[in-house]
């Protein structure tokens, strides 16, 4: 196909969706903001480069303090009996049922601690951490961790809450070492910490853990971010967010404390004083390294001077001290550690790909064909608030497992050979809001669950609407009319439902084009599709939309895909309506036949291009057209006419039999609740 750049696509691809925590069912934001976009792209890639060359993988994130805390609360309330594994398994089953209901076509969906994926993930985690250690990038560090003296227990991350200490962050929901906006900090920097177990102020006690030397990769990350910034297919927010962390360590102090700072400044390591910027309430103290910054923190703390730290690269914690987690390998005799949930979730997609290939009976090392080969690409769909982990920590660790640290003992090449990883392509989305606010199950107005929405909308209606929101550009409100907090608006038939805007294209225009083709063939062409050549202008328009669609998918601008298809489907429907009206008025049978030939060809193009968006309705069209899926959804055809999909006998007869439609058939149905 000369109008398409086939080399723009990899030979093999992995598509990942951000793993949902195993502490609850899926909310609509995770389905609409992550899974549906990832599924659309994965379906496109299967059509574009072949289904056998694509792995769409995800699973339940089985570990982490939110899961421990959710399980503890339910057990204490008498609302759950069973182990924490049972608890995660129950939520996993609910998540999988929801994903199946939304036609999410995952190659595998198990969990980081469930099924064969869990077994592979335990093994891979041990290998990955050992590789980091062998290459000289892990160090053991005794750090302070929160301890509840009243409950006599070390607290996990979610059992401590306070205020984020990072300068400029307004989050009042921070945990032991990260806030709900994704900022990382040392536990001792958390402002106003409180134990969620007893409501007391926790103590700080030393614990030993393994840390990855993330600051050592500052220069590498600067080069990496420059490359990402220069890639027009990657959203600008990926590089801009990562770059925020590639700055020298800074401490911020309120302007009214400058005299107090001046009194102890000489006790601090060498640093640069940064006057407060215009309109800012704090001045900065910039240090050349983390050790100097931390020494200054102690000086300020001893002097009673409150401060906040800026974003900077800090050692990335690899292990933790809670029981429910992936077991960490025993290194230097340190036993009983588990892996912190964030680092293991970064390599979990590798585990899932490996497990998927195992299930397909492929060789044990075949996962490298997808994660390591030059002609392969991994696309990771994530929320923008997780860019620190995927855009900073992950690239550094992927580089580290194949690069020995300066001065490290020579471990041989085994670790590097085991993980010759290529960097992934990040597809970062903003959040879907509920109305004008972030969806929260603890808010005054409860947002609908993903399952509840299916009581009012079809899957195709919701998929089309969510993909049209433009989450690559900004957070966008989702305002389904049946869940409007204003009862008057819910009941007023004059108030349009914003969630049905794209659904109207399906149930009205796309339906009309498809039905018209079938009913005309049944009425005047003996139930067959004529196989003449389409009008050159129609072929040219099809080639133009195919090329535009392909180029738009390279940027994963899915809202633009919806706009592009809205225009093309409406134009095709209008060409049909105008053409058949003129043919009937002139009683011109040849013109009637040509109009139908053109319409069937455009229907084919519409169905191919809408297949990733609304697969259920498109599958119904294809089945009634009576073409095999592998041939029909293949982009390698010439797209010069329908004859190229048919047998030689059909081409000779210039007719292809279709499966007749019953009267008033809908390929895209309205939900029964919308027919009142």
The alpha carbon of 449 is separated from its chain's Cα centroid by a whole number of angstroms, namely 19
- Tokens 């900073």 map to which residue? 392
CA distance 559 to 571: 19
pLDDT single digits (tens) 331-390: 999 999 999 999 999 999 999 999 999 999 999 999 999 999 999 999 999 999 899 999
Contact predicate 344/328, CB 8 Å = no
Q: Tell me which residue of 181, 146, 434, 67 sits closest to 173, measured CA to CA.
A: 181
pLDDT for res 465: 97
CA distance 603 to 520: 13
**Cβ neighbours for 190, distance < 8 A, ≥ 6 positions apart:** 160, 162, 163, 164, 165, 174, 175, 176, 177
Contact predicate 207/154, CB 8 Å = yes
Contact predicate 156/171, CB 8 Å = no
pLDDT for res 408: 67
CA distance 65 to 149: 19
CA distance 501 to 507: 11
- Tokens 């293991």 map to which residue? 344
pLDDT for res 567: 98
What is the chain's mean pLDDT, rounded? 92
510 token code pair:
């796309």
CA distance 260 to 540: 74
CA distance 604 to 124: 44
pLDDT single digits (tens) 641-661: 999 999 999 999 999 999 999
Predicted confidence (pLDDT) at residue 1 exceeds the cutoff of 50: no
631 falls in which pLDDT band (50, 70, 90)? Answer: very high
Q: Tell me which residue of 27, 49, 32, 28 sits closest to 553, measured CA to CA.
A: 49
470 token code pair:
């433009």
Percent of the chain's residues with pLDDT above 70: 96
Beta bridge partners of residue 27, listed in sequence order? 449
pLDDT for res 601: 98
Beta bridge partners of residue 166, listed in sequence order? 309
pTM of the prediction?
Answer: 0.92
Beta strands in 586-632 (DSSP E): none
Predicted confidence (pLDDT) at residue 393 exceeds the cutoff of 70: yes
Predicted confidence (pLDDT) at residue 569 exceeds the cutoff of 60: yes
pLDDT single digits (tens) 198-250: 889 888 888 899 999 999 999 999 999 999 999 999 999 999 999 999 999 99
- pLDDT mean over 537-566: 97
pLDDT for res 545: 97
**Cβ neighbours for 22, distance < 8 A, ≥ 6 positions apart:** 60, 61, 62, 63, 67, 87, 88, 91, 92, 95, 111, 113
Helix (H, G, I), strand (E, B) or coil at 60: strand
The alpha carbon of 482 is separated from its chain's Cα centroid by a whole number of angstroms, namely 27
Q: Residue 640: how many CB atoms within 10 A of its CB?
A: 15
pLDDT for res 66: 81
**Cβ neighbours for 401, distance < 8 A, ≥ 6 positions apart:** 128, 131, 132, 135, 415, 416, 418, 419, 421
Predicted confidence (pLDDT) at residue 439 exceeds the cutoff of 80: no
pLDDT for res 492: 87
- Tokens 């809408």 map to which residue? 610
601 token code pair:
């060809």
Q: In the chain, count H helices and then E strands.
A: 25, 22
Q: Residue 523: how many CB atoms within 10 A of its CB?
A: 9
- Rounded to 5 degrees, φ, ψ at 112 are -70, -10
pLDDT single digits (tens) 125-134: 999 999 999 9
CA atoms within a 13 Å half-sphere pointing along the CA-CB vector of 92:
23
pLDDT for res 153: 75
């Amino acid at each position: 196909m000369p109008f398409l750049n086939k080399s723009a696509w990899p030979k093999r691809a992995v598509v990942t969706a951000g793993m949902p925590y195993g502490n609850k069912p899926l909310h609509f934001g995770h389905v609409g903001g992550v899974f549906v976009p990832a599924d659309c792209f994965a379906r496109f890639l299967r059509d574009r480069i072949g289904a056998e060359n694509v792995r769409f993988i995800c699973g339940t994130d089985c570990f982490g303090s939110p899961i421990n805390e959710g399980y503890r609360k339910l057990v204490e309330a008498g609302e759950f009996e069973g182990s924490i594994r049972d608890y995660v398994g129950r939520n996993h089953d609910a998540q999988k049922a929801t994903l199946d209901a939304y036609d999410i076509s995952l190659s595998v969906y198990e969990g980081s601690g469930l099924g064969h994926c869990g077994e592979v993930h335990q093994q891979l985690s041990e290998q990955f951490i050992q590789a980091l250690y062998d290459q000289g990038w892990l160090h053991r560090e005794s750090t302070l961790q929160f301890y509840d003296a009243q409950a006599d227990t070390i607290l996990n991350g979610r059992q401590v809450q306070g205020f984020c200490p990072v300068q400029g962050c307004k989050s009042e929901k921070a945990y032991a070492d990260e806030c709900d906006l994704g900022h990382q900090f040392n536990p001792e920097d958390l402002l106003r910490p409180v134990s969620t177990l007893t409501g007391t102020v926790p103590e700080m006690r030393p614990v030993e853990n393994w840390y990855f030397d993330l600051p050592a990769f500052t220069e590498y990350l600067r080069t990496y971010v420059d490359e990402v910034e220069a890639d027009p297919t990657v959203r600008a927010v990926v590089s801009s967010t990562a770059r925020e962390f590639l700055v020298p360590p800074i401490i911020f102090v309120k302007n009214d404390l400058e005299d107090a700072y001046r009194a102890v400044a000489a006790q601090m390591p060498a640093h640069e004083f940064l006057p407060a910027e215009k309109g800012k309430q704090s001045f900065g103290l910039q240090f050349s390294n983390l050790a100097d910054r931390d020494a200054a923190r102690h000086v300020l703390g001893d002097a009673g001077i409150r401060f906040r730290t800026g974003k900077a690269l800090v050692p990335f914690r690899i292990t933790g001290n809670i029981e429910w987690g992936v077991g960490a390998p025993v290194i230097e005799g340190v036993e009983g550690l588990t892996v912190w949930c964030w680092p293991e979730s970064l390599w979990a997609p590798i585990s899932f790909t490996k497990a998927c290939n195992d299930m397909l009976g492929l060789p044990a090392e075949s996962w490298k064909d997808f994660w390591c080969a030059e002609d392969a690409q991994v696309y990771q769909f994530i929320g923008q608030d997780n860019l620190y982990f995927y855009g900073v920590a992950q690239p550094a660790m992927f580089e580290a497992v194949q690069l020995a640290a300066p001065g490290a003992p020579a471990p041989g090449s085994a670790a590097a050979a085991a993980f010759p990883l290529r960097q992934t392509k990040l597809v970062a989305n903003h959040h879907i809001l509920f109305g004008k606010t972030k969806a929260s199950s603890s808010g005054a107005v409860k947002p609908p669950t993903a399952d509840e929405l299916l009581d009012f909308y079809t899957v195709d209606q919701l998929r089309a609407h969510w993909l049209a929101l433009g989450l690559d550009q900004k957070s966008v409100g989702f305002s389904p009319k049946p869940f409007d907090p204003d009862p008057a608006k819910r009941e007023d038939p004059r108030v349009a439902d914003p969630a049905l805007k794209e659904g109207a294209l399906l149930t009205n225009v796309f339906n009309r084009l498809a039905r018209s083709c079938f009913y005309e063939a049944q009425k005047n062409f003996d139930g067959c599709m004529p196989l003449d050549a389409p009008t050159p202008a129609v072929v040219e328009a099809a080639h133009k939309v195919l090329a535009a669609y392909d180029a738009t998918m390279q940027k994963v601008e899915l809202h633009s895909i919806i706009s592009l298809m809205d225009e093309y489907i409406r134009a095709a429907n209008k060409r049909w309506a105008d053409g058949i009206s003129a043919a009937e008025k002139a009683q011109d049978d040849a013109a009637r036949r040509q109009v139908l030939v053109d319409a069937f060809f455009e229907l084919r193009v519409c169905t191919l291009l809408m297949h990733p968006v609304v697969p259920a309705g498109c599958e119904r069209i294809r089945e009634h057209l009576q073409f095999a899926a592998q041939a029909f959804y293949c982009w390698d055809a010439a797209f010069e006419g329908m004859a190229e999909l048919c047998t030689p006998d059909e081409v000779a007869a210039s007719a292809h039999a279709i499966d007749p439609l019953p009267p008033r058939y809908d390929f895209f149905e309205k939900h029964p609740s919308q027919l009142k």
